[in-house]
Amino acid sequence: MRLRPSSRDASTVKTIHETPDLQDDAGAPSLDLKIGGTIEFRNVSFSYDDQAPILRDINFTIPAGRTTAIVGMSGQGKSTLFSLAMRMVDVADGAILIDGQDIRRVAQGDLRSQIAYVNQSFVAFPGTIYYNIAYGAVSLGELASKDEVVEAAKAVNLYDTIMGREDGFDAKLDKSGNKMSGGELQRMGIARALVKKSPILLLDEATAALDTATETKIMDYIRNSKESRTTVIIAHRISTIMDADQIVVLGHGRVAELGTHNELVAKGGIYAEMWAKTQAGSLSDMPTVVDKPIGP
């Protein structure tokens, strides 16, 4: 059985799905994912509030149905790339195309309904654990079914934890997500995104609080799920991203390197240096990698 969201929670989602500052063209069409969600950053530049550019002439393509990782030191603009792809903000120059369509020309609500986004903060709604996960499907018009919620909870290694508690999936959460640890709430966030079954999944440090074994299980599930999904991961932990089909290294607002883990290690650049330090046990996270200037 599928429940309908409460009107108050639905209005929260409406706010998320419509950015007041950015207007749709009259009669803006839906996003037509004819390829399955290829995201192209074409000559993209961006700055916040007339400040110095955060991103400069960014060019790369995220292939449909594959996993792409974005790495780089803190403050390089990784999360901003996600904000741009969801059109929370608009590019200053260039364009972002999804399956060949400029995202400024399609209906914003439809664009965001095709994208599931997870960051480190899980917004809990007062209601049951079931409701809090099922809510991920709300932009599709109704909550996810119990079976879909159970599948997602299993995928993020949360099923046994939930069932081990009094009331199981019917246990009530308040806004602070009481009864759950930070890592459990992070997995709730991923489960909520999974029930959306969107063709595009953006994970911004979404597994940072999890142990490596749990993270690997979740990433394996996403990679092997029957739905073809374009997955983009931002992460500092190298173990999170090394199996990606493509790794984009951002530095000084530009794409500094792009390739697979093996290609980038062989290249001997920034990524290789990060990897060498990880191997030596002196580095687990990206931010401590040497901050080299990137050429034009």
Residues that bind ligand ATP (CB under 6 A): 48, 54, 72, 74-80
Cβ(60)–Cβ(248) below 8 Å: yes
* Least distance from ligand ATP to the Cβ atom of residue 185, Å: 19
**Residue (71 or 138) nearer to ligand ATP, CB:** 71
CA distance from start to end of the chain = 56
* Least distance from ligand ATP to the Cβ atom of residue 178, Å: 27
* Least distance from ligand ATP to the Cβ atom of residue 72, Å: 6
Q: Are strands 200-204 and 115-118 parallel, antiparallel or unpaired?
A: parallel
Q: Which residue has the tokens 């369509």?
A: 101
**Residue (84 or 180) nearer to ligand ATP, CB:** 84
Cβ(207)–Cβ(218) below 8 Å: yes
Quick one: which H or E segment has residue 249? strand 246-251
Query: In terms of C-beta density within 10 A (0-12 exposed, 13-18 middle, 19 or more buried), how is residue 160 classed?
Result: exposed
**Residue (152 or 289) nearer to ligand ATP, CB:** 289
**Residue (77 or 189) nearer to ligand ATP, CB:** 77
User: Strand 254-259's sheet: what is its strand order?
Assistant: 115-118, 200-204, 230-234, 67-72, 246-251, 254-259
**Residue (106 or 274) nearer to ligand ATP, CB:** 274
* Least distance from ligand ATP to the Cβ atom of residue 96, Å: 15
* Least distance from ligand ATP to the Cβ atom of residue 54, Å: 5
**Residue (60 or 125) nearer to ligand ATP, CB:** 60
* Least distance from ligand ATP to the Cβ atom of residue 118, Å: 14
State how far the Cα of 248 lies from the Cα of 264, in Å rounded to an integer.
Answer: 10
